[in-house]
């Protein structure tokens, strides 16, 4: 509790919360251990209990990159740019306090929500909240600078995906009927994924300048551009996909595509609180292509437990018999959703700073997950005393901190919700600076990469 006391006492008052994450203590040079820390052979199990310090630092880094997709999203329906990124491509990571991780964003990714058979009244409501033909900012591609590449031992191309925010995305999350996901018919026979995730990943809108290409096409094009550039310079590469919740699901879909498109380039997916994505054949396809998957999840979070089986199977009269057969064989059938890769499970009860009451939203919150990750030593160990992440971050968009912390819940809001006074003294929505205006197909020139 000494750390909590230090946190509360600063000149007799509570410490002022900072929106910027502190750099992890485990951010030293890992280049000599790069294969081990990056999950060579697709197996991190030897590093998870106790949690390797170098791996913890890498996971916190990718968690911060994923959190940027939330902090950078303009969710204000009264804003003329609702659904876009609040910051321009070059300013995104610096404005969110993440320049210290050594990455630079090279391209934004937009996703189109295809509501399909949603009721007409709901489709009108969803489109009424969209900013541009119902294509919302869903993430970004970034690349490690020279200093970060030297520290980590690879030139890392990171693709960060956002979780569910827009109304249409919630609707798609509930579509659990499986659809085929076959990149290579010879190797991907029988691979299936959730229809909603697949739709988010592949839908496009020809009438939208931001959604005329699917998220799948946007990411594939940018990754190919960067791989070609750095391979041409003779550099060692890796591609890492990360995301929270829905973003974790999209990370797996994109990781499988990238591994198929770039054989010989190591591909990994580091996900946080992600649901199941596909069936056994889909997960086996990830393994056969060498995609390393590490899932970070909070034990009390329900999202990683779903979906289990498609609705068509749940509703079937023989579903109970099939479930019993699954239990007896120990091998999930082709119609069941399963997880891929290794799992690092976190326990809310380990933290002396969190409320232990049941909180569905709080358990699923990414900042809660990163707080627990920072304090993780081992399954049987207490919360580590060397944890350095700012406690106030937990309550950015939750109320998980104990009352003694004196940090208000849900405090991460723009001042006056973005309204400013104009020259006449009227309160109006602030105009964005020129460098923060959305630009279709904006990509960082290769000449700007070190």
In tens, the pLDDT along 70-80 reads 999 998 888 88
Mean pLDDT, residues 60-84 taken together: 93
Residue 190, C-beta contacts closer than 8 angstroms, at least 6 positions apart? 279, 281, 334
Residue 320 resides in a domain: yes
pLDDT, the chain, mean = 85
Distance CA 60, CA 296 (A): 11
Strand 178-180 relative to strand 103-112, pairing: unpaired
Whole-number pLDDT of residue 168: 65
245 tagged catalytic? yes
Strand 267-272 relative to strand 292-298, pairing: parallel
Residue 434 resides in a domain: yes
Whole-number pLDDT of residue 300: 92
Closest CA relative to residue 282, chosen from 226, 341, 229: 341
Whole-number pLDDT of residue 402: 97
Distance CA 311, CA 308 (A): 9
How confident is the model over 279-288, as pLDDT tens digits? 999 999 999 9
Distance CA 191, CA 346 (A): 30
Of the candidate ranges 156-170, 250-264, 304-318, the one whose mean pLDDT is the lowest: 304-318
pLDDT at 68 exceeding the cut of 80:
yes
214 tagged catalytic? no
**DSSP classification of residue 395:** G
Q: Which helix (H) or strand (E) holds 419?
A: strand 419-421
Distance CA 444, CA 450 (A): 12
Residue 246 resides in a domain: yes
Q: With left for phi above 0 and alpha for psi between -120 and 50, is residue 139 left, alpha or beta? A: left
pLDDT at 389 exceeding the cut of 50:
yes
> Per DSSP, what are the bridge partners of residue 296?
272, 344
Distance CA 33, CA 31 (A): 5
Distance CA 309, CA 279 (A): 9
CA angle 167, 170, 173 (to 5 degrees): 155
pLDDT at 404 exceeding the cut of 80:
yes
Percentage of the chain beyond pLDDT 90 is: 66
Phi, psi of 330 (to 5 degrees): 75, 10
Residue 188 resides in a domain: yes
Question: Coil, strand or helix: which one is 169?
Answer: helix
Of the candidate ranges 140-149, 304-313, 366-375, the one whose mean pLDDT is the lowest: 304-313
Evaluate whether 418 touches 79 at the Cβ level (below 8 Å). yes
Residue 433 resides in a domain: yes
Whole-number pLDDT of residue 21: 52
Crossing angle for the helix pair 53-71 and 366-374, to the nearest 10 degrees: 160
* Residue entry with tokens 């995730």: 197
Residue 233 resides in a domain: yes
pLDDT at 149 exceeding the cut of 60:
yes
Whole-number pLDDT of residue 27: 53
Confidence class of residue 8 from pLDDT cuts 50, 70 and 90?
very low
301 tagged catalytic? yes
Whole-number pLDDT of residue 310: 57
Question: Which residues form the domain of 434?
Answer: 20-346+413-448
Percentage of the chain beyond pLDDT 70 is: 81
pLDDT at 15 exceeding the cut of 60:
no
pLDDT at 443 exceeding the cut of 50:
yes
Closest CA relative to residue 41, chosen from 267, 290, 365: 290
Residue 396 resides in a domain: no
Residue 337 resides in a domain: yes
Active-site residue, selected from the candidate residues 301, 342, 374, 436: 301
Active-site residue, selected from the candidate residues 87, 262, 364, 371: 364
Mean pLDDT, residues 93-103 taken together: 96
Mean pLDDT, residues 139-159 taken together: 97
Whole-number pLDDT of residue 367: 98
Distance CA 267, CA 42 (A): 10
Confidence class of residue 247 from pLDDT cuts 50, 70 and 90?
very high
Whole-number pLDDT of residue 427: 96
Active-site residue, selected from the candidate residues 79, 199, 203, 245: 245
Whole-number pLDDT of residue 270: 98
32: domain CATH number? 3.40.50.1820
- Tokens representing 201 are 């990943």
Whole-number pLDDT of residue 328: 56
pLDDT at 3 exceeding the cut of 80:
no
Mean pLDDT, residues 130-159 taken together: 88
How confident is the model over 308-360, as pLDDT tens digits? 765 444 444 444 555 555 555 556 666 789 999 999 999 999 999 999 999 99
Closest CA relative to residue 157, chosen from 247, 28, 265: 265
Evaluate whether 185 touches 260 at the Cβ level (below 8 Å). no
Total domains in the fold of the chain: 1
């Amino acid at each position: 509790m000494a750390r909590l006391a230090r946190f509360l006492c600063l000149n007799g008052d509570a410490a002022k919360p900072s929106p910027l994450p502190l750099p992890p203590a485990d951010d030293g040079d890992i280049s000599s251990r790069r294969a081990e820390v990056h999950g060579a052979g697709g197996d991190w199990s030897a590093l998870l209990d106790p949690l390797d310090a170098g791996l913890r630092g890498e996971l916190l880094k990718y968690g911060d990159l994923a959190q940027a997709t939330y902090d950078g999203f303009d969710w204000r329906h009264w804003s003329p740019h609702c659904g876009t990124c609040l910051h321009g491509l070059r300013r995104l990571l610096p404005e969110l306090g993440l320049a210290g991780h050594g990455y630079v964003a090279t391209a934004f990714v937009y996703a189109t929500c295809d509501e399909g058979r949603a009721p007409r009244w709901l489709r009108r409501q969803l489109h009424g909240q969209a900013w541009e033909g119902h294509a919302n900012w869903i993430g970004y591609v970034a690349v490690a600078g020279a200093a970060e590449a030297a520290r980590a031992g690879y030139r890392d191309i990171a693709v960060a995906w956002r979780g569910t925010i827009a109304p249409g995305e919630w609707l798609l999350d509930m579509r659990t009927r499986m659809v085929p996901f076959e990149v290579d018919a010879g190797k991907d026979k029988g691979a299936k994924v959730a229809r909603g995730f697949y739709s988010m990943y592949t839908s496009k809108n020809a009438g939208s300048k931001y959604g005329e290409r699917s998220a799948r096409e946007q990411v594939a094009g940018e990754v190919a551009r960067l791989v070609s550039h750095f391979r041409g310079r003779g550099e060692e590469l890796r591609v890492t996909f990360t995301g929270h919740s829905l973003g974790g699901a999209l990370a797996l879909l994109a990781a499988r595509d990238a591994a198929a498109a770039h054989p010989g380039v190591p591909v990994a997916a580091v996900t946080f609180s992600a649901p199941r994505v596909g069936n056994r054949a889909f997960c086996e396809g990830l393994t056969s292509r060498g995609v390393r998957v590490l899932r970070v999840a909070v034990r009390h979070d329900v999202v990683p437990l779903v979906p289990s089986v498609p609705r068509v199977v749940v509703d079937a009269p023989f579903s109970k018999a099939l479930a019993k057969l699954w239990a007896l064989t120990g091998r999930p059938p082709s119609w069941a959703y399963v997880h891929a890769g290794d799992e690092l499970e976190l326990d809310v009860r380990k933290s002396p700073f969190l409320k232990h009451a049941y909180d569905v939203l709080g358990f699923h919150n990414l900042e809660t997950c990163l707080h627990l990750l920072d304090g993780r030593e081992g399954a049987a160990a207490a919360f580590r005393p060397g944890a350095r992440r700012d406690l106030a971050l937990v309550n950015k968009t939750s109320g998980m901190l104990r009352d003694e912390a004196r940090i208000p819940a849900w405090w991460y809001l723009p001042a006056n919700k973005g309204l400013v006074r104009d020259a006449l003294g009227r309160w109006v929505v602030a105009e964005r600076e020129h460098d923060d205006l959305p630009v279709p197909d904006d990509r960082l020139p290769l000449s700007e990469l070190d």
